[in-house]
Each structure stands twice: as C-alpha cells, then as structure tokens.
Structure 1
Amino acid sequence: MTHHLSAGTARSGPYSVHVTPESAGWGYSALRVLPLPPGGSHTFGTGDSEWIVLPLAGSCTVTVDGTAFRLTGRRDVFSGVSDFAYAPRDARVTVDSPGGGRFALTGARCDRRLPARYGPASGVPVELRGTGNCSRQVNNFAAAGVFECANLIAVEVLTPDGNWSSFPPHKHDEHRPGEESELEEIYYYEFTGHDGTPGLGYQRVSPSGRGRGTDLLAEVRDGDVVLIPDGWHGPSMAVPGHHMYYLNVMAGPGEDRAWLIRDHPGHAWVRDTWPDRPADPRLPLYTAPERSA
C-alpha cells in the first residue's frame, strides 16, 4: 500500500485528488479536490457518505437538493478562514464557481442523514496549539464538538516556516473508551512559495504496533496526500522560508464522533512544557472574521 500520493497520482476525472475508502484500503474517510475554471460547474451524488465543500481558493455556490449556499471563500488557504457547506448522504450536489477556484470535498461514510447546512467563516474556532517552534494554528471548522456531522471530522492546520507540527507524535488507531478513538486520517498539503520556488515539507509516520505498521518519511509538496491508517504520526515539518498548510480528514467505526489521541510515550513530556511558554509570535497567521450583527 502506498501511503504517500504525490501530486497528480491520485487524479481521477474532474478531481485533482480523488481518495476513496476503496483506494485507501479502509472503510470511511474520503477526499476530493475539485478545480473549476471561471464559470465551471460540477454535480455529484453523495452516495453513502456525508461531505463538506470547503473552498481552498475562490468562491462558489453549493446547491444541495435544490437549496443553494453561497460561499464567499478566500484567495488561498494562507489568507483567511473560509465558510463551507455541508451535504448529507443520499443527496445531489452542484458546485458552481463564476470566478473559478479549487474546492476540497471532505467526506466520510455514515449511516445517519443530517440536514444540509451552511457553515460561516465567523463560526470557525481558530486555535493556537503548541509553543515555540512546535507552534501551529488549527482552524477547527468541522472538529468534533464544533460542527455537527454524523462521522466526519475535518480541520485545517497552518505551520509557520521552520516549525514542527503534529508533535508530539500521536496516534488514534485503536478504540480505548474515553482515551483513544479509532480514526483513519488523510493529510492534504499546500505551501507558500518564494520567487517562483515552490515550498516543501516532511511528514513522519512510525509504527505503533497496531494495524499495518505504517512506516513513512516523505518529502511533501503542493497537492500531495498522505494516508494514515494507523501509527504514530508526526512531526509534520515546514522547511525554513515556506509556510505549510494541511487539511486533515478523519472518520472511523466508533459510535461516538470524537478525536481522542494518545501521545507517543517517548515524546509526551514535550506537551507538559507548553503551559509556561508562549506560542510563536507569528501566529495566528489570520483570525476568523467577526460575526455580523
């Protein structure tokens, strides 16, 4: 099984990234990235999965079974929080973009059918996690406890250049009630460039003794994907001079939709040093817009 999918290798049809449970070799998590030209439109059926349409760049209108949600979107993932639209399973969805753009479709197989909804950018909690060169920003747009989904958990992480995120290494590959969730995870990456030089970073996944024994050290670039069925994942390393963005998509078989992790026992002590140290002063790179009155 290939766990690092370099840009273009997961392309299918209209999607520049198309990861299904079948292609990943697991049961729940899915991701599509849909590029649209100005005036472009795409229609799909949600099937047995729920989906969130999240603008990565540009704006669009998402119509779910006849109900339209207009998404303001953003210039790119490094410029601001985005609004989004939720589509339930067994629905028909159309994405229209007068100006064109790129749109992430984060998905998860599920049994429950929830109503279609709009998620405003102003309602996205922006969290600063870690301290010093372990600092990162988390946009918790579809985190458990933030936005209701049947099974899907999805967040965005921004790591300033030179910093390490997804650290200490952690895992969520076994069901331990109240302690750890069993979740499949997809990482999708983008980077800032400099003078025409594209950015890059590195992703580590090491075996936890569970599942497949995933073992990976990958150089990741714009549009790359890493699949994490199991294992200690982290760090995610942003090289100097290039900010790193990754979109995390998670889902699993548990009855409770929860993100419960276990830190690597050899590195868990790092988290204990955070309370007395400040976050990287470059963060947040941006905040959510104010709620309208």
Structure 2
Amino acid sequence: MNPPSQPYALHITPEDAGWAYSSLRVLVLPPGGSHTFDTAGSEWIVLPLSCRDVTVTTTDGDAFALHGRAGVFTAVTDFAYVPRDARVTLAVPGEGGRVALAGARCERRLPARYGPARSVPVETRGSGSCSRQVNNFAAAGAFDCDRLIAVEVLTPGGNWSSYPPHKHDEHHPGRESELEEIYYFEIADSPEGRPGLGYQRVSPSRAGGTDVLAEVRTGEAVLIPDGWHGPSIAAPGHDMYYLNVMAGPGAEREWLIRDHPDHAWIRTTWPGQAVDPRLPLTRPGGDR
C-alpha cells in the first residue's frame, strides 16, 4: 500500500496488494478543486464519500453531475462509471470533500455512465445483532461492469457484519467465485464527537493463508486476498461503514460465497428475530 500523499489519502494498487485486479483510491479535493487521472487498463467508479457535488468529465466527451452527500452515514449517493483507456477530470464546484475511486483491471471498454442514487438497490441482510444495510450500487446484476464489483455496507453500533464468516478465494462453478477484496472503513463519531473504532477478522482458509485481527478506524483498509472474512464488528455507540471493492479472474462477473462451516448455522436463527429497527441508516435523498 502506498503511503498517503496528495491528493490521495489512500492509494491501493494491485502491485501494492500483491494481486492482479482490485484497486482503491480515496481522493481529497479542496473547495473548488479538481483532479485529472488516466484510467489506464482499469475501469473505475467515482463514489462521493463526503462531497456534496462532483462533476465528472472524460476526454471522450462524457459529462456527469453527481449529487453527493455530507458523509457516508447521511445518504445514498450518485456515482459514475468511467472506462479503461480514458482521461477523467473530477471537479467540485463548491465545498471540497473526499471521493472514492474503486477500480479493477479489465479487458472490455464499456461506456461511461451515470448512476443515480434513486436507482441504487438497498437491502437489509441478517437480523437481530447481525442486521446490516447493503447499498448494492455496483453489485453483480445491479450495474454493468467488466470485472469490478462494489457495494457499501452500514452496520449499526454493537452489531456484527460480514457474518457468518465467508470466503470467495477459489473457483467452483455455481458455488464459489474467486475475488480479491478491499474493505475500506469509516466509523461514526460518538454524539460528543469522539472518534470510534471497529474490528475486522480474516482467518485462514488454507495452510499459510491470511490471518488478521485488525482494529480499524476511519480511513483505514483491510486487504483480503484469501481466507474466511468476518465478522466486521461495530463498537457499541459507533456505526460502521465499509466499502467493498472486488474483482477476480472468472469468466463470469459474479459474487458467490461459501460460509464457514462452523458458523453457517447462525443463518437459521435469523427468521425468528426482528431486523434492527435502526435500519436503514441511510436512504437516497437524505442529508446531502
């Protein structure tokens, strides 16, 4: 992972991660600022994190005005897809903020497109203390990309997310897809403004595999090349957000997972429990 440098607060390339496809950048733009980058051999999604308005233009003549949000805990946001082999300029006409660039190396050059917040499928997964919200803005089947899969997950404080632990590090047709994954975190402050924290577990699915128990805070990321990942634990009083960025070598763009056999039983308890009443935490058209 490259150290933070202007204009990026976070910059993860496939070379940094030691894999082949998935990338993530978090761009910091000052009020009235702009940034130009070349997409090279990757497709990218421009996703406002804490930026109310972003314009996206390409040298192909595409232009999109994104209505963003004050922060990840306030609203579902517009986004834009930009293809490989393009030059892209992002600009903020008013106040600045942070923008995520989720990327994946790819073969096909698809057209640039605008993704309105109102069209983002929002679902609740789990129930009880495993309840969480998933914004499937670039999930497989929800939005067309060549290889990139990306979703947002919001977990109320005190809940466990990405549970039961699951994996997608092998190709088994119809049962499991091979995907590299990045988890990018933001943690809500306490009512008094004190910063929060959470935890992310990744346990080995093979000899010598990934074995991580990480304390995570706003702006940090966990790389998951393999292994059972979960739970993602939100500390009481501190809601947790994470952006999942995935891509892999499969001929089909699909998210197929295998639950950890020791913990899959927890799903059988969900029908008898209510979904956490705090959900959904955000909606399209919230506090932008």
Shorter-chain TM range is: over 0.9
Aligned ranges for residues 80-95 of structure 1 at < 5 Å? 80-95=75-90
| Structure 1: stretches of 5+ with no match in the other structure | none
Report the counterpart of residue 36 of structure 2 in structure 1: 43
**Residue from 17, 27, 38 that aligns with 2:20:** 27
Aligned ranges for residues 99-178 of structure 1 at < 5 Å? 99-178=95-174
Q: Give SS of 1:176's match.
A: coil
Q: Give SS of 1:133's match.
A: helix
Q: Give SS of 1:219's match.
A: strand
Please report how far the alpha carbon of residue 13 of structure 1 lies from its aligned counterpart in structure 2 after TM superposition.
3.8
For the residues of structure 2 that align with 1:12 and 1:51, how far apart are their CA atoms? Answer: 20
Please report how far the alpha carbon of residue 275 of structure 1 lies from its aligned counterpart in structure 2 after TM superposition.
2.4
Give me the TM-score of the superposition, normalised by structure 1.
0.94
Native 8 Å contact 1:125 1:288 kept in 2? no
For the residues of structure 2 that align with 1:64 and 1:49, how far apart are their CA atoms? Answer: 14
For the residues of structure 1 that align with 2:269 and 2:57, how far apart are their CA atoms? Answer: 47
Instruction: Tell me: CA distance 1:263–1:148, structure 2 relative to 1, closer, same or farther (3 Å).
Output: same
Aligned ranges for residues 1-293 of structure 1 at < 5 Å? 10-58=3-51, 59-65=53-59, 66-98=61-93, 99-194=95-190, 195-209=192-206, 213-289=209-285
Q: Give SS of 2:75's match.
A: coil
Q: Give SS of 1:11's match.
A: coil
For the residues of structure 1 that align with 2:271 and 2:256, how far apart are their CA atoms? Answer: 20
Computed over aligned residues only, the root mean square deviation of the Cα atoms, in angstroms, reads 1.3
Please report how far the alpha carbon of residue 288 of structure 1 lies from its aligned counterpart in structure 2 after TM superposition.
2.8
For the residues of structure 1 that align with 2:150 and 2:245, how far apart are their CA atoms? Answer: 5
Letter in 1 for 2:58: V
Letter in 2 for 1:217: L
For the residues of structure 2 that align with 1:13 and 1:247, how far apart are their CA atoms? Answer: 21
Letter in 2 for 1:218: A
Percent of counterpart pairs with the same letter? 71
Letter in 1 for 2:46: V
Instruction: Tell me: CA distance 1:10–1:245, structure 2 relative to 1, closer, same or farther (3 Å).
Output: farther
Letter in 1 for 2:199: Y
Q: How many residues in Structure 1 have an aligned counterpart in Structure 2?
A: 282
Q: Give SS of 2:8's match.
A: coil
Q: Residues 193-249 of structure 1: CA distance to partner in whole angstroms, max 9, x if unpaired? A: 122310100000000016x50000010001011000000000000001100000000
After TM superposition, the structure 1 stretch with the greater mean CA deviation from structure 2, 193-202 or 10-19, is: 10-19
Q: Give SS of 2:107's match.
A: coil
Q: Give SS of 1:174's match.
A: coil
Native 8 Å contact 1:84 1:119 kept in 2? yes
Structure 1 runs of 4+ with >3 Å offset: none
Give me the TM-score of the superposition, normalised by structure 2.
0.95
Please report how far the alpha carbon of residue 289 of structure 1 lies from its aligned counterpart in structure 2 after TM superposition.
4.3
Q: Give SS of 2:177's match.
A: strand
For the residues of structure 1 that align with 2:67 and 2:4, how far apart are their CA atoms? Answer: 26
